[in-house]
Chain A
Amino acid sequence: MSFCLEQHLQQSEDYKILIKNTGFKEAKKVIEKHSPNKVYVKAGEKILGARIIGIPPIPIGINDSESKVTLPYTKPCHGTAVVELPLEKDEIDKIKSSAIKD
């Protein structure tokens, strides 16, 4: 079964919030600074079963050695948070395949 971001954030505690209630550009900086590798995706791209919201190009941080990703999570009344969570390698590979090509 595919990973579902919304479900994971609601039902698991296995994630870390790096910043919350912030603006999208600030969140973008946090991801870019925090992550050893990044991929960039289009606004509205389906990532982990949910459309990613933000101002493109949207960074997703990838930490292959720890098998973790860092991504923005935006809600209308709560601004943007940056969430880091563990993922299986095949889910990380799916994210990499959604990256905007140079």
Chain B
Amino acid sequence: MKKALILLGCPEAPSQTPLAVYTTYKLKEIGYDVTVASTPSAMKLLEVSDPEGVYVTSKVDIESCLENLKENEYDLLFGFVHKDAAAAYFVTFYHILNTKSVALVFEKDIDLLEKFIKDVQESTDSEIVSARAYHNPTPLRVKIDRYIKSLED
């Protein structure tokens, strides 16, 4: 079974948690074994959102995940990038894993959105799925669906 790592950033972006649950569900549907790496606070939000662990069955602390990460340990890196630090983490995970990767870049401020896209583009060959979004998950959900469909093809 293929393995995917979903990398979450700071949980202050409201659409991150529902989209993390949704992306886990969609990747599992196409046969991925999914692990979500996050900060402790982002993990608590996931646990409240999915109390019986129906969708998110494997969670790991972002720091211990990073510490022990090995090249090609996952077949897909799916990173949420909505802050400068999230871009730095994504790029770091990308370079350690050296695997198929996609950055889900979102921000309400168009200048910041473009900056985060540029940060990822300049230092990785990752695919980028982006939208001007913050509270409303729909623009990103549509693009996630499109990206995951492309994985099936």
Contact = CB atoms under 8 A, between A and B. Distances in A.
Given A55-B119, A76-B83, A44 B96 contact: yes
B47 to A, nearest CB: 17
Interface string A26-63: 00000000000000001110000011111110000000
Interface in A1-46: 23-25, 42-44
A80 interface: yes
A56 B39 contact: no
A56 B122 CA distance: 10
A80 B85 contact: yes
A43 B95 contact: yes
In the complex, which range does the number of interface residues on chain A fall in? Answer: 20 to 34
Given A44-B96, A76-B86, A55 B66 contact: no
25 contacts: A23-B84, A43-B91, A43-B95, A43-B123, A44-B69, A44-B92, A44-B93, A50-B67, A51-B66, A53-B66, A53-B88, A53-B89, A53-B92, A54-B88, A55-B88, A55-B122, A74-B89, A76-B9, A76-B42, A76-B85, A76-B89, A77-B41, A77-B85, A78-B85, A80-B88
